[in-house]
Amino acid sequence: MYITKAELQNFRNYESVNVEFHPNVNLILGNNAQGKTNLIEAIYLSSLGKSFRTSNDFEMIQFGSKFFRIKIEAEKKDEDICVEMAVSKESKAVKLNGRKIKKISELLENVYIVIFSPEDLKIVKEEPEKRRKFIDRELCQIRPMYFNNISKYKKVLLQRNTMLKENAPKISLLEIWDQELAEYGSKIILQRAEFIKKIDKISGQIHKNITNGKETLHIQYESNVPFMKNLEEQRNLFLEKVRSNLEKDLFRRNTSIGPHRDDLKITVNGIDIRKYGSQGQQRTAALSLKLAEIMLIKEETEEDCILLLDDVLSELDEERQDYLINSLSNIQLFITSAELSEKVKSTLPKGKTFYIVNGQVEEDI
C-alpha cells in the first residue's frame, strides 16, 4: 500500500498545500523549522487518528486559525482509501471513505504506518514509558481490540488515581475500579506478551544479520503481574495483586500495579543494554526493533506498511544506513532530512524529491 496524495489546510505552518506522492520514495528536504516533520505528521494521522508528537490535537492548528483540515488518500491492493480529519477547539471529526466514524478504532486496520525518528533511537536507554509507547503504537494498528482495551484501561486508571488522591477514599468504590482495572489490564498483558514473543524472534534475526552473527538480541516483556495460562486466571491474579497493594496505593496516592508500570528487558549476548550497552549496541537494537515492527505488520496483515524516516538517517553510521535502505525496497518511504549525501540518494529506489520552505512545498522536476 502507499499514500498517493495529501491535502492540508491550516495544519501547523501549512496554510494550504496539495501534494502528490511517489509510490516508492519521497525525499522531503529543507532546513530546520520549515515544516518537514509537519508534513509527515499529517500523513501519520491517517493511521491512528493521532499524532506521534503530541496528545493535544489543538497544537496542530495553525497559529491564528480556528481549525485544521487534512485529507490523505492511499491505495491498498485494489482498494482506494481516503481519510479526512477536521479539528477545531470545539470538535474533532474523522471520515473514512466519506463516512463519518464514531470511534477512532474504526479507522484502524486501514493505513499501516511506522514512524522512525531520532527519538526512537533512544528507546532502549530512556525511560520505560518510551518502550510501552512502542508496544502500544504497533498493537493499536494491528489489533483494534487492543486499542479499545488500552483506552478503557487508561480511563479506569485515571478514575482510580483520582479517587486515591481524595482525603478519605471510599474503599467500596475503589473495589469497583479494581475489578475494571483487572478486566482490561489482564487483556493488555496477554496481548503484549504475545506481541513481544513475535517481536523477539523477528528482531533477533535482524540484529544477527546487522552484526554479522556477532550479537544475539533478546526482547522480554517485564510485567509486574506474572503471566497466566488464560484470561480468567490472569484477571484473578491481577485483582489479587491490586488489592494486596491497596495500603501502599493509599499511602502513595497512585496505582502501583498494572501494565502502565511494565517494561521491556533488552539484552545483547545476555547483557542488559538498557544500562550497560554501548551507544552503538543500543542504536542497532532500536533499528532491529523498528525493522521487526515493519515485518510483523506484513506477517499479521499481509500488507506492506508505509515508513516515515524523520531525520533519522543522519543519526546512523554508513553501515546501518546501508542495511536500513537495503531492507526497505518493497515499501513506500518518506525521508525527511536537511540534506542527504549523493551516496545515499544513489542507493535509493526512484521517487520524488520535495523541498520545504516555510510551509511551502516545491517538487524537484
Q: Does pTM top 0.85 for this prediction?
A: yes
Q: What is the mean pLDDT of each run of 10 residues along the chain (365 residues)?
A: 97 97 95 95 96 94 96 92 96 96 92 92 92 93 93 96 93 94 97 96 95 95 92 96 95 96 96 93 93 94 93 88 86 93 86 94 86
Strand order in the sheet with 271-272: 217-222, 263-268, 271-272
Which triple of cell numbers denotes residue 22?
Answer: 511517489
Which triple of cell numbers denotes residue 324?
Answer: 536500513
3-state class (DSSP) for residue 212: coil
What is the predicted pLDDT for the residue at 78?
79
**Which residues are 222's β-sheet partners?**
263
- In one-letter notation, the amino acid at residue 340 is L
Please provide residue 85's backbone torsions phi and psi, each rounded to the nearest 5 degrees: -140, 135
Other Cβ atoms closer than 10 A to 275: 7
Nearest to residue 110, comparing CAs of 140, 151, 152? 140
Other Cβ atoms closer than 10 A to 196: 20
Nearest to residue 39, comparing CAs of 49, 27, 48? 27
The three-point CA angle 44-47-49 to 5° equals 85
What is the predicted pLDDT for the residue at 365?
66
Residue 290 and residue 282 in contact, taking contact as beta carbons nearer than 8 Å: no
**Which residues are 80's β-sheet partners?**
75
What is the predicted pLDDT for the residue at 351?
93
